[in-house]
Amino acid sequence: MEYKDYIWLLHFPEKQIMISNVGGNNSDDDNNNGDDFLNDRILNNNSVELKYFVRNHINNNRGQGQMPIRIMALSESKLLYPEVPHSWLCDGKLLRLLDAVHPGNYTIFQDQWRRGQPVIISDVTKRLNPDLWHPDSFIKDFGDVKNDLINCMTGNIVPNQQMRKFWEGFECHSRRLKDEKGNPMLLKLKDWPPGEDFAEMLPSRYNDLMSVLPLSEYTQRNGRLNLASRLPECFVRPDLGPKMYNAYGSAMHPNKGTTNLHLDISDAVNVMVYVGIPKDGDNEEYIKEAYRAIDEAGCDILTRRRVREKGELPGALWHIYSARDADKIRDLLNKVAIERGARLEPNHDPIHDQSCYLDGALRERLYKEYSVEGYAIVQCMGDAVFVPAGAPHQVRNLHNCIKVAEDFVSPENVSHCFHLTQEFRDLSDTHSNHEDKLQIKNIMYHAVKDSLSVLGSALIKNSQKNIEENEEVTPIIKTELNVDDV
């Protein structure tokens, strides 16, 4: 049993949440739930020799002990989880939970999460206050505040702009800031508020968001399955959010991503709280281009039906890849850079540099040359996307989106967090990810310390119970044997 298994078992002595054999390779739970290895179709990830990426340090545990990716059919999963409303997207690889507050969500979520697979939960925001998350609300509260913007067309920073200029362009295309050629810029406001605690700067919105975040044992700051909550108060708290990701839609620009390919050192849940189309634009043309983007992105038929037949306005297009495929993606990106005449710089990383968006041609090469296929996910209003630590991912807003993300550290992925911290040390000293901002070693130490304390208390309690039972039984035995007290 690994340390992360102890953390699970010891923090839930009452076993209110299914916790057995988390992350194990031989799961009794799998066998008890209908024998996953018989009922599930398992992806076979063929090994590929990497010629353009060499890891600076060897991680002996890399790829070992990982459970295979699982593909499910609804007819199978309904037998295993009959009470939980759910469906499957991405040809059975992506779990979609339909009731954000159902108490049975933990069991089916954990069965996917421990395999390193993303999960989407719908209708998360139906209990949010919509007035707090409308662009007009941000103009009213923060319109005069200055902040840097990013032009997604060029990647250039547009410094020190009043935020009302961004938000007014959010709703009205003609009011967007223009570049030197007079073209409206495709802007985003990333990681806002910067360097400040969301809870202190936006208290009403923070409370509103926290009241609806699903799987609160993972996503709340004090959640029992959020290992970051184990850091004592005397430590500087790692910045796990929430952070807002606000950007214009880029459906008209198929090769431009809103957020380039990258990976995060911790787990994250990203909630879509607003989707909109400019009021002065051609709505039909915007929607048509969004549908075209979804079709060309490799989305499965159920996803395409969802946005067309059920009328759900698509907000963002995600491509998420398994953490175990990260090095293959690096190898492809380095190969492409060499083909284009670039020089590979030492102590830099093609994923951590966040300089690339995998367009259709690159995604096709990734599949053909490396047998790597990701999850093409459409995030609609109210959807919460759960992204495992270490999973490379990129985002393209199809329409104007306001998203809020909260990071956490789950027991299932804590080993990924640790190895990513080691990986970041190989980056150049000037790289934004060079430092260990997560304090993962401190988190692990105090999580294990708390777990051992719980175990010690349980052992003492159990010993006292046995002594008391023995004291009660002894006089009865003596009486039945007619033995006088000595």
Domains, the chain, with CATH or none? 39-67+112-454 (2.60.120.650)
Strands in 163-266 per DSSP E:
187-192, 243-247, 259-262
- The H or E element spanning position 140 is helix 135-142
Q: Which of 239, 269, 276, 248 is nearest to 133 (CA)?
A: 276
- Reading the block at residue 159, the tokens are 């410094």
Residues 6+ apart with CB under 8 A from 147: 160, 161, 163, 166, 189, 192, 194
Give phi and psi for 230, each to the nearest 5.
Answer: -85, -10
Assign residue 380 a region (left: φ > 0; alpha: ψ between -120 and 50; beta: otherwise): beta
Q: Which of 248, 245, 253 is nearest to 293 (CA)?
A: 253
- Reading the block at residue 355, the tokens are 């300089």
- Reading the block at residue 133, the tokens are 């998350």
- Reading the block at residue 83, the tokens are 């009470």
Distance CA 135, CA 139 (A): 6
Q: At what angle do helices 414-424 and 3-11 cross, to 10 degrees?
A: 140
pLDDT, residue 477, reads 59
Residues in the chain: 486
Q: What angle do CA 255, 123, 280 make, to 5 degrees?
A: 50
Mean pLDDT, 10 residues at a time, over the chain (486 residues)? Answer: 46 42 41 42 59 72 69 96 97 97 97 97 95 95 92 90 92 90 89 78 94 96 93 84 91 84 95 92 86 93 90 92 96 95 86 92 96 96 97 96 96 90 71 65 90 88 81 64 54
Distance CA 6, CA 485 (A): 45
Question: Model-level pTM?
Answer: 0.85
Distance CA 3, CA 21 (A): 11
DSSP assignment, residue 237? P
Give phi and psi for 322, each to the nearest 5.
Answer: -65, 145
Count of other CB atoms within 10 angstroms of residue 3: 14
Q: At what angle do helices 360-370 and 326-339 cross, to 10 degrees?
A: 120
pLDDT, residue 484, reads 55
pLDDT, residue 17, reads 40
Q: What angle do CA 169, 174, 176 make, to 5 degrees?
A: 35
Is 416 within 8 Å of 323 (Cβ atoms)? Answer: yes
The tens digit of pLDDT for each residue in 232-253 reads 888 878 888 899 999 999 888 8
Whole-number Cα distances in Å, 205 to 210, 229, 243, 244? 9, 21, 11, 11
Give phi and psi for 395, each to the nearest 5.
Answer: -135, 140
